[in-house]
Chains A and B, each alone.
Chain A
Amino acid sequence: MEIDPFIFRLSIFILSIFVGYYVVWSVTPSLHTPLMSVTNAISSVIIVGAIIAALAGSSTEIFEISNIFGFFAIILAAINIFGGFLVTQRMLQMYKKKKK
């Protein structure tokens, strides 16, 4: 019997949880706030789904209700992507070592 592709995705998911577990434990506590803002930014990769939703169907369909939900999702995710990465960058720039 062939293996359902769902099982492969589930494997990726579970392995990623383990990767996340070990990677996040190695994050230094002083960077926990940037960690939250950057995880927030990367979870906005959901914009991928938003773009597919917005562009679904032929070009006459873009004002259908499901496409409009896609467009709204694009705005929300874009706020998060730009806001998240930029504010993380702003924070990280402030972390400086003692001047010798």
Chain B
Amino acid sequence: MTPNLSALFYLISGILFILALRGLSSPETSRQGNYFGIAGMAIAIIVTFLSVGNYGMGLVYVLVFLIIGGSIGAFIAFRIPMTAMPELVAGFHSLVGLAAVFVAISAFLKPEAFNLGTIGNIKLASLIEMSLGAAIGAITFSGSIIAFLKLRGIMSGSPITFKGQHLINLLLGIAIFFLIYYLCISQSSNIFWSIVLISFFVGVLLIIPIGGADMPVVISMLNSYSGWAAAGIGFTLENTALIITGALVGSSGAILSYIMCKGMNRSFFNVILGGWGATDQGSSSQSKEQKPVKSGNADDAAFLMKNASSVIIVPGYGMAVAQAQHALREMVDSLKKNGVKVSYAIHPVAGRMPGHMNVLLAEANVPYDEVFELEEINNDFANCDVAYVIGANDVTNPVAKSDPQSPIYGMPVLDVEKSKSVLFVKRSLSPGYAGIDNDLFYRDNTLMLFADAKKMTEEIVKSL
């Protein structure tokens, strides 16, 4: 296949990828969009085979490796529980990052295969592109591994900070740019390896100071990085499909990070610099014991909701941890039989990744037109009889609206306290990730249900 013809085909697969993302504008068109994506990928792979034109034993090996990887991927995709989506996505990001590093390494070792010149005499632009691709890929890889370990609970979710952390990151960042400069002058392979090594290190350092609740931002950010790494390699290989995809993924991740930061009313840099959520809890824990709290049991909750005319459910990360989404849907079903109008309210940063709650509810067969975003539903709390908060905490805290001293002041929150009564399912009065007390616990219209989210919901179903 001539290079011109294959370039045109790569353009087609790039366009199919754009259509794949376009499909996600509504759930109806999304499945079709996914097929566009698959078609784009198939075209890119087939065209590459045809244009390489090396049909010896190598091709057999490539197919074998493709099938090995594909089977592993398919196995994971079918087995993974929906609650584990955040760590799955983090894990997948790390693979893209590492693949980018590997491709860059092999382009550096055998530049003639990619038309980049010869060893020791690689084109200047290609050197810059491949070292950038390798550096971003390496950061994506090690950063995603840390994110994965934190989300999986293998590593503690609390931020790891030490003195001079930001200075070290800054110096290492500058070092990478200097090394790229020297690489261009000397073409030395030692410098290339140093760039890759330092970048792995930077990835780890970048993610360890970021706390568990900020994971939605981290995952989106790493998503964006994996895109920029792909684009860097795309420039090296002069491949349009890779350049288009890299740009799409890069901007997609950046937009998601922005949306997540806005959902927490924090600047991107504030999140990245990390250390949040490690605030001392000593001062706040003293005063909170004295305040009276009303607590109830499943029967009280069932009685309240059965006699309500409208109920809004506010799910959060705790629902995912307790795997309570199926029990929750059963509860809603019996409420609906009693003629109660039920809807769901989702905060942008509920869960550990963008859209996490929506997927879990969809898994439990909740129709997506009963699920609403913050802006769509926030005014409805004033007219609703019962708000059922399950596994959410900071995103319902009215302090964000009233107390300028609070670390979450200004964060958009769900106006749960405006409903006639609030049922708050929680295991204890402990503060949420932000490390601050929730004012909602002590309100007159709040009834605390101290239990595991799933158990409590199941008990309510029984007494309905």
Contacts and interface: CB of A to CB of B under 8 A. Distances in A.
Interface of A: 5-6, 9, 12-14, 16-17, 19-21, 23-59, 62, 64-67, 69-99
Nearest to A21: B251
A53 B103 CA distance: 7
A77 B96 contact: yes
Given A9-B235, A43-B226, A74-B62, 13 more contacts: A20-B18, A24-B248, A33-B353, A36-B89, A40-B93, A47-B44, A48-B45, A48-B241, A52-B48, A55-B59, A69-B109, A84-B92, A98-B369
26 contacts: A29-B346, A29-B358, A30-B27, A30-B371, A32-B256, A32-B353, A34-B359, A35-B355, A36-B223, A36-B256, A37-B85, A41-B41, A43-B249, A45-B245, A46-B96, A48-B45, A52-B48, A53-B110, A55-B54, A58-B54, A67-B110, A70-B106, A78-B69, A81-B70, A83-B77, A97-B369
A24 to B, nearest CB: 4
A17 B95 contact: no
Contacts of B82: 91
Q: Is the interface of A mostly helix, strand, loop or mixed?
A: helix
Given A32-B355, A73-B99, A96 B45 contact: no
Contact of A80 (B92, B247, B250, B369): B92
B246 A43 contact: yes
A39 B252 contact: yes
Q: Is the interface of B mostly helix, strand, loop or mixed?
A: helix
B244 interface: yes
B212 interface: no
B288 interface: no
Given A35-B24, A36-B89, A80-B92, A23 B113 contact: no
B399 interface: no
A30 B106 CA distance: 40
A87 to B, nearest CB: 4
Contacts of B71: 82
Contact of A12 (B34, B78, B243, B358): B243
A42 B245 contact: yes
List the 7 closest pairs (A to B, CB-CB), nearest first.
A78-B69, A56-B113, A32-B355, A59-B56, A83-B73, A82-B73, A16-B247
